[in-house]
Amino acid sequence: MTKLVQLAAGTALATAMAVPAMAETWDMPMAYAASNFHSEVGANFGACVTEGTGGELEIVTHPSGSLFSGNEIKRAVQTGQANIGERLISAHQNENPLYGVDSIPFLVSSFDEHEKLWEVAGPKVAEVLEEDNLHYLYSVPWPPQGLYFRDPVESVEDMKGVKFRSYSTATARLAELTGMLPVQIEAAEISQAFATGVADSMISSGSTGYDRKVWEHLNHFYVVDAWLPRNVVFVNKDAWDGLDDATKAVLNDCAATAKTEGLQRSKDYTDFTLDGLREGGMTVEPASDTLMGQLKEIGATMTDEWLETAGEDGKAIVDAYKAAN
């Protein structure tokens, strides 16, 4: 093709895409239980877009990994198999260290601190997503992460050799540094993993333990507040670029509502689900001072490792966060 023909073809395509020819439906894969707050917020977001565009763009969520499993969602949206999706972003730290900025142990341990970190880190993560052909829409944190075990654990010595369900690079590294045996398993599969003895422990929020009724297999939850990982909702960049401005504005407005609603729901779900674990028969208590001290040391090692791999950009985020707080 000559340059001129290419240009003409490109313009024709752009024009065609800018005008919504007919009502469209976007399937939105999500990885977590339909009853989980992330999934409910996503469903509300979808309804908001459908209503706001007068049905021109309908967004239909598919929770519980029913359309694509958690570990397939990012690729599916990158390649346009789905136009929009939600993914636990730290699960992709192996692709870019910045995706793991929300999993630096003990850098932040409360929702408020975490929001401040994300104010600095979010735009950087959005840039990295853009390179992966993804447009960042909104994100919502999980409640603080604690440790689940079948047997009581007083110190790292009690963790040696325990089979540990991981969900990200950081969780697998935590397992290695505590002498546990990591096995990566999506939340949708954990009940089965615990029932069959594939894993006997994990790090997660009270929320995921509650959603998956882990009291049927595990007995202890230790409050550790190690970090608050985030789910990010992103759109295939070509699909995003093909929307007209009015539709983009609706998505942005609905995303702003979802972000606020999600944060509040995550906060509310924290105590509610820890109470739920207790009602299920689990012991929910703070980790011992010994264990906390050991975990903080391991956290310092993991922080150094992250800073080393994340280079200038990573250091800039952490420095900016610390300077502002």
Chain positions contacting ligand PCA, by CB under 6 A: 88, 142, 167, 187, 204-205, 207-208, 229
In eight-state DSSP terms, residue 141 is E
**Nearest distance from residue 52's CB to ligand PCA, in Å?**
29
Instruction: Identify the CA nearest to 25 among candidates 76, 60, 68, 52.
Output: 60
106 by Cβ neighbours in 10 Å (0-12 / 13-18 / 19+) ranks as: middle
Is residue 240 within 8 A of residue 135, CB to CB? The reply is: yes
Is residue 144 within 8 A of residue 109, CB to CB? The reply is: yes
Instruction: Identify the CA nearest to 217 among candidates 277, 157, 288.
Output: 277
**Nearest distance from residue 200's CB to ligand PCA, in Å?**
15
Helix axes 111-131, 289-324, angle to 10 degrees: 70
Instruction: Rank residues 125 and 243 by Cβ distance to ligand PCA and give the closer one.
Output: 125
CA pair distance 247, 240, nearest whole angstrom: 10
**Nearest distance from residue 159's CB to ligand PCA, in Å?**
18
**Nearest distance from residue 286's CB to ligand PCA, in Å?**
18
Instruction: Rank residues 240 and 269 by Cβ distance to ligand PCA and give the closer one.
Output: 269
Is residue 111 within 8 A of residue 228, CB to CB? The reply is: yes
CB-nearest residue to ligand PCA: 205
**Nearest distance from residue 9's CB to ligand PCA, in Å?**
44
**Nearest distance from residue 89's CB to ligand PCA, in Å?**
10
Instruction: Identify the CA nearest to 115 among candidates 239, 266, 8.
Output: 266
Is residue 87 within 8 A of residue 70, CB to CB? The reply is: yes
Is residue 92 within 8 A of residue 99, CB to CB? The reply is: yes
SS3 content of the chain, % helix, strand, coil (to 5): 55, 15, 25
**Nearest distance from residue 321's CB to ligand PCA, in Å?**
21
Instruction: Rank residues 193 and 243 by Cβ distance to ligand PCA and give the closer one.
Output: 193
CA pair distance 297, 195, nearest whole angstrom: 32
Instruction: Rank residues 144 and 242 by Cβ distance to ligand PCA and give the closer one.
Output: 144
